[in-house]
Amino acid sequence: MKIGIIGATGAVGRQMIDCLDEQAIPVEELRLFASSRSVGRTMKFKQKDVAIEAVSQDRLNGLDAVFGAVSAELAKEYRPLIQKAGALFIDNSSAFRAEEDVPLVIPEINGADAFAHHGVIANPNCSTIVALMAAAPIANISPIEKMIVSTYQAVSGAGIPGLRELHDQIHSIEEGKPVETEAFPAQIAYNCIPFIGSEGTDGYTSEEAKMQNEGRKILHLPELRVTCTCVRVPVFRSHSVSVSLQCKEPVSIEAAEQALRLYPGIRYMKEGYPMPLDTSDQDLVYVGRLREDKVFDGGLALFACGDQIRKGAASNAVQILRVLLSKE
Ligand SMILES: NC(=O)c1ccc[n+]([C@@H]2O[C@H](COP(=O)([O-])OP(=O)(O)OC[C@H]3O[C@@H](n4cnc5c(N)ncnc54)[C@H](OP(=O)(O)O)[C@@H]3O)[C@@H](O)[C@H]2O)c1
C-alpha cells in the first residue's frame, strides 16, 4: 500500500510511523508531510530515511490511504485534495467526527462501522476513546443511559507544544526564571487546569461536549446522557478518566469484571490501580477501582487510564486501516 501521513512530525504523526510497522501494515511506499518548517528534514521508517514534504495534489496522487495528524482547520483544507487523489482519509482531528456519513470508529467497539465510509473515517477524541473502552464492555451487558466523567488529561494531548510547555515551565521554576504560558490558558507545572478546548454556550467546553456527542455515535446509543469535566494535569503522557455510569438494568460487579477481563484492548486490574506512568508507550487501556456507584442505583464507578497518543490517536487510526484490510 502507498500511505501518507500529514503532520508526520507531530506527537501523533511520529507515533503513527511506528504503529504502521508494529501493526504490520503492508507499506510499499510512505510519504511524510508536515509544514514548510520541516521540509528538507527526514524521519526514519524501518531504518530508512524518508524525506518530509509539503502537502501538494501532485504528492497526494497515487496514495491509497492518508492519515491526518494536523489541526481540524488543516484537515478541512486538505480533505478535497486527498479525496481528489482517490485516497482513503483517516483523520485524527475533530473536523469530521459529527458528519453523518463519516464513521467514527474504535475498532474493538464499532469496527464494522468503518466499512460504511465514503472516503473519510474519523478517529474519536482521545479522552473519549479511553472512557469508552472502559464503558463498552459494561454497555454490552446492558445499554448505558447516563455517565458522569472527569478527565485528567496529559499535556501531550496538546501535541509537541504542550509537552514542551510543561518541560520548560518546570525548568524555569527550578531556575527561578519567569514562567511563560502559551499552549495552555494558565501555568500547568504544579497545577491543574479545569478548562480544555473552547467555551460552549451551556457552560461546557468543546472538549467536554465530545464525550456525549461521540459516545452516542460510537456506542449506537442516541439517548446517552453524559456530564463531563475535562482537566489538564501536569502529566506528560496518558490520559486518565474517572467514570460513574448507570445502565438500563443494574450490572453487578462480578458481571462487569468478567466483561472487562474478556474485552480486547483492556487490562482489568482487580489489584492496584491504573496510572499514567504505567500505561504510557503501550496500547492497552487499564481499568480498575471498579465499585458500586453511590449515586446511580445499580450503577458502577471505575477509573481508567490509556496512552492517548497511541490508543487515543495513532494506534487506533492504524487499527482502523487494519480492520479494513482484514476483509480484503
Ligand atoms: N496529541 C494527542 O494526544 C492527540 C490525541 C488525539 C487526537 N489528536 C489530534 O491530532 C491532531 C495532531 O495533533 P498533535 O498532538 O500531533 O499536534 P502537534 O504535535 O502540534 O503536531 C502538528 C503537526 O501538524 C503539522 N503542520 C502544521 N502546519 C502544517 C501545514 N500547514 N501543513 C501540513 N502539516 C502541518 C506540524 O508540522 P511541523 O512540525 O512542520 O510544524 C506537525 O507535524 C490534532 O487534530 C489533534 O487534535 C491529538
Whole-number Å distance, alpha carbon 87 to ligand 1 midpoint, is: 20
Distance 68 CA to ligand 1 centre (A): 8
Q: List the residue whose alpha carbon is closest to atom 32 of ligand 1.
A: 35
User: How many of the other CB atoms lie within 10 Å of CB of 145?
Assistant: 17
Q: What is the pTM of this model?
A: 0.98
Q: Residue 308: what are its φ and ψ, rounded to 5°?
A: -75, -15
Q: Where are the domains of the chain?
A: 2-124+313-326, 128-308
From 31, 35, 53, 79, mutation site for ligand 1 pocket: most ligand atoms within 8 A of C-beta: 35
Catalytic residue among 19, 117, 230, 239: 239
Distance of alpha carbon 142 from alpha carbon 153, whole angstroms: 28
Q: Indicate which residue's Cα is closest to atom 15 of ligand 1.
A: 159
| pLDDT value of residue 315 | 98
- Residue 79: which H helix or E strand, with range? helix 72-84
**Using CA positions, which residue lies closest to atom 39 of ligand 1?**
9
Cα separation, 314 vs 86, whole angstroms: 22
The confidence score (pLDDT) of residue 263 equals: 98
For every residue of 213-260, DSSP letters joined together read HHHHHHHT-TT-EEEEEEEE-S-SS-EEEEEEEEESS---HHHHHHHH
Supply the pLDDT for residue 234: 98
| Catalytic hit among 126, 230, 247, 305 | 126
What is the pLDDT at residue 327? Answer: 82
Q: Whose CA is nearest to atom 17 of ligand 1?
A: 159
Rounded CA-CA distance 232/155 in Å is 7
DSSP 15-48: HHHHHHHHTT---SEEEEE--GGGBTBEEEETTE
Q: Tell me which residues have their CB closer than 6 angstroms to ligand 1.
A: 6-13, 33-35, 37-38, 55, 69-72, 74, 92-93, 126, 156-157, 159-161, 308-309, 312-313
Homologous superfamily (CATH) of 128-308 is Dihydrodipicolinate Reductase; domain 2 (3.30.360.10)
pLDDT for 253 equals 98
> Three-state SS for 54?
coil
Homologous superfamily (CATH) for 2-124+313-326: NAD(P)-binding Rossmann-like Domain (3.40.50.720)
* Protein residue with least CA distance to atom 31, ligand 1: 35
Report the pLDDT value the prediction gives residue 158, as an integer from 0 to 100: 98
Give, for ligand 1, the residue of 19, 38, 59, 71 to mutate: max count of ligand atoms closer than 8 Å to Cβ: 71
CB 224 within 8 A of CB 212: yes
One digit per residue, the tens of pLDDT, for the chain of length 328 reads: 999 999 999 999 999 999 999 999 999 999 999 999 999 999 999 999 999 999 999 999 999 999 999 999 999 999 999 999 999 999 999 999 999 999 999 999 999 999 999 999 999 999 999 999 999 999 999 999 999 999 999 999 999 999 999 999 999 999 999 999 999 999 999 999 999 999 999 999 999 999 999 999 999 999 999 999 999 999 999 999 999 999 999 999 999 999 999 999 999 999 999 999 999 999 999 999 999 999 999 999 999 999 999 999 999 999 999 999 998 7
Ligand 1 centroid to 52 CA: how many Å?
Answer: 14
Contacts of 173 (CB under 8 A, 6+ apart): 179, 189, 190
Q: How far apart are the C-alpha atoms of 71 and 64, rounded to whole Å?
A: 22
In angstroms, what is the span from residue 128 Cα to ligand 1's centroid? 19
Note the pLDDT of residue 56: 98
289 CA to centre of ligand 1 in angstroms: 33
What is the position in ligand 1's atom list of the atom closest to the CA of 154?
3
Instruction: Examine the residue annotation and report whether 228 is marked as an active-site residue of this protein.
Output: no
For 19, the grid coordinates are: 504503529
User: What's the CA-to-centroid distance between 105 and ligand 1, angstroms?
Assistant: 20
Q: What are phi and psi of 121, to 5 degrees?
A: -125, 135
